[in-house]
Amino acid sequence: MKLLFERLRSRRLASTFLLLATLSAAVVAGSFAAHGVRGQEKQSDSADATPLKVVNSTIPPNDFVRIAKMVGPAVVNINTQTLPKQSSNHGRRNFHQFRSQPDQENPGDDGQDNEGQAPDNFQDFFNRFFGQIPTPDEGDNGGVQESLGSGFIVDPKGYIITNNHVIDKADKIYVKLSTDPDTQDLGRLARVIGTDKATDLAVIKIDTSTPLPTVKMGNSDTSQVGDWVEAIGSPFTLAQTVTAGIISAKNRTIDQGAPGQFQHFIQTDAAINPGNSGGPLLNMNSEVIGVNTAIYTQSAGYEGIGFAMPSNTVVAVYNDLISPSHKVTRGSIGIQFREGLSGAVNRVYGFKNGVLVQEVQPGGPADKADLKSGDIITTIDGRSIKDGDDLVNEIASRRPGSTIRLGYIRDGKPQDTTVTIGDRDKVFADLNNSQPESNPEGGGGAGEAKLGIAVHGITAQMAAKLHTSGVIIDSVRTGSFADLQGLEPGFVITHVNRQPTGTREAFDAVVSKLKTGDDVVLEVIDPRHPEGGINYPGGTL
């Protein structure tokens, strides 16, 4: 026994062994006391023992088994890589503006920048369900950050829905199907079709030569508190993990104020953990009724409360993101209001339900309809407005250019006016002293649509320095053709398929003729290192 302990490598193991040995000794001592047996010279005879057999009984499959088998093949594992180069994020389309700028019908500004922050116990809300490993100053892979999430296929051509935070700022996005070989290979390279920061949703696409399995989108409005639900995803890198629970609540807003205006979640107690983010929440008809997005946690793990973006919202956002504009267009009338007013305000101003206008955007739709600060909006097209969320949801769902009839109270007297809905991004661009996402010459143009880049012409000074003309890249959309070829903001493109692109107009003229399946080769110079000469990134569009 002494020799054995000397061979143990840790005190903890020795203590464990000692504890087990002590317990064993106690059991043996008890046996001695009970039976008066001090030792056995030979083993007892077991000739009368019957060998065990496995019973081949059948258990009828339950609904959870059926759903897992039906939907599992359409649920994917998503891995991303973010490279440690500062320029990789400079100038990219800033989808974070949906949070940082006053949102449509903004309920006021407390003078603080709350972007990226969350209530104390929502530790996994903005860095959501996955860690990034390693950090830039640790690990042995040159500082490359790797993240994990889930998604599900909604179109057999390879279109996938996931969370924006799963792929946000990633340089490379990889998708692995349940049918792909279980190897160290990261999977199939994916490209971003569109993202919506306001709902934390994204659409990505992988190329496929054969139709892929898909899910069915259910009606989240018909789901009820207490309904059974099933979640499928890749928690802690464990792909195709299935958990079940019920709908605990509906219409939860966990990020208060403007950032949470379009986030009204389904709450569930189905176990959701890091890596589940972007996976489906399913009803008992095998239909997706939500996208798993956030958890309430004090331990960075499952504590029985998860949140999923309702499928009805997901479908509307998806349809916008696959449109030619690849963005979600929301209506606005250009007002700001403050939530959480005391009952005294309601009594003094003489209203029970409605929205007290705090500020009217000069030149905006509400201003043109003669709405003023202090007006109380009570109805839209004759329907009573309960609160700010009700107002925002109603107006945001309307298309720019359409009209609504607003009922309001001014100085205690009911009035009404007709307001033409505006584009939310454009309405508040002036308010933020900024412009909607674009390059300096306005609009992404052909480069944005075809290649995923926005450009503008270089200055005469730069042309003289480089001894050539061209266009300079303002931004590169993550997962786009240009991104996959290694293009970065600041690079100068002088030719596309051997045709000169000395001006923005010339560049657009060449790129607009490109079609899917075309080979595209660019001649590129890095102005920071012009001595490196011309590079020739290229691939098939």
Residues with catalytic function: 165, 200, 277
DSSP three-state, residue 208: coil
Return d(Cα 325, Cα 162) in angstroms, integer: 19
DSSP three-state, residue 425: helix
Q: Give 112's strand partners.
A: none
* Cβ atoms of residues 469 and 476 within 8 Å: no
Alpha-carbon separation of residue 96 from 198, 327, 442 (angstroms): 8, 13, 20
Return d(Cα 172, Cα 141) in angstroms, integer: 15
Return d(Cα 472, Cα 439) in angstroms, integer: 10
> Which residues, 6+ apart, have CB-to-CB distance to 481 below 8 Å?
191, 450, 451, 452, 520, 539, 541
Rg (CA), the chain: 30
Tokens read off for 511: 């790129």
Alpha-carbon separation of residue 334 from 16, 361, 364, 390, 432 (angstroms): 68, 5, 5, 16, 12
**Neighbour-count burial of 109, counting CB atoms closer than 10 A to its CB (0-12 exposed, 13-18 middle, 19+ buried):** middle
* Cβ atoms of residues 345 and 356 within 8 Å: yes
Return d(Cα 110, Cα 90) in angstroms, integer: 28
